[in-house]
Amino acid sequence: MEPADLGHHISRRFNEDLERVRTKVLQMGGFVEQQLEQAVTALVEGDSQLGEEVALGDHKVNQMEVGIDEECGKILATRQPTASDLRVIVAIIKTITDLERIGDEVEKIAIIASRLAAVEPPVDRYREVRHLSRLVTEMVHDSLHAFARLDATEALEIARRDRVVDEEYEAIQRQNITYMMEDPRSIRRALEVMWVVRALERIGDHAKNICEYIVYMVHGKDIRHLSPEDAEAQLQGREGFG
């Protein structure tokens, strides 16, 4: 085998390894997204059993993270990736960490859902939670879509939505504080709702993180501490990044 052929063989094998890992990341993300939807369903429908099932599913998320992490370690040890390929591996490891943390937040929501199922559900079926959960679930779904396509432009647009999630979260918190002040009987429900929306807000943060890792994979730029507007300006070269 000629040296050139050997190089091609190594590159092909590395690409196969990388695609296999990326597929597993998307499978993990799909499972986490499904868990999130079911946890919210358990809450609004007062389904204690579903809440318990979702909570128990967190161990599968943890196993997925460990498996992908180990596979990334093997690739680093055996393939000796170049700088750009190493960047992809690092971003994947960071992405699965955030997916695992989304799983942790989903577990919290599921446990609360199971606990609240024993309480008479409110007439509005947690309307405020349902609205925020839709925003957050869409962020998670779309961030995974951008990851699959390695679409940094889409990732930046998704990251912008975190502001809307934060605003909605703060509005719900203020609303529940008002409820507790006006009617002490609402304190328990209000506190539980506040824990749920806090978990949802954190999930939005993790989805935003995944979007930032996509930009890192594609452009090699760390935008974690920049606003979406500043990140976009720098990626377009207006701030000396080009």
Q: What percent of the chain has pLDDT over 70?
A: 91
Total-model pTM: 0.88
Look at the alpha carbons of 54, 60, 64, 70 in this order and tell me if their dihedral is positive or negative.
Answer: positive
Average pLDDT, the chain: 88
> What is the rounded (10 degree) CA torsion for 172, 176, 178, 179?
140
Residue length of the chain: 242
Per-residue pLDDT of 159-203, as tens digits, reads: 999 999 999 999 999 999 998 999 988 888 889 999 999 999 999
Q: What is the pLDDT of residue 9?
A: 41
Which superfamily is assigned to 3-235 in CATH?
Phosphate transport system protein phou homolog 2; domain 2 (1.20.58.220)
- Short-list 69, 83, 79, CA closest to 15: 79
Cα–Cα distance measured from residue 11 to residue 242, given in angstroms and rounded to the nearest whole number = 28
For tokens 């207006």, the residue is 238
3 has a pLDDT exceeding 50:
no
Q: What is the domain partition of the chain in residue ranges?
A: 3-235
Per-residue pLDDT of 154-167, as tens digits, reads: 999 999 999 999 99
**Structure-block tokens of residue 85:** 């390929």
- Burial-class residue 199 by CB neighbours within 10 Å (0-12, 13-18, 19+): buried
Contact, 176 vs 61, CB < 8 A? no
| 3-state secondary structure at position 124 | coil
Grade residue 122 by pLDDT with cuts at 50, 70 and 90: low
Cα–Cα distance measured from residue 76 to residue 72, given in angstroms and rounded to the nearest whole number = 6
Comparing 61 with 239, the larger pLDDT belongs to 61
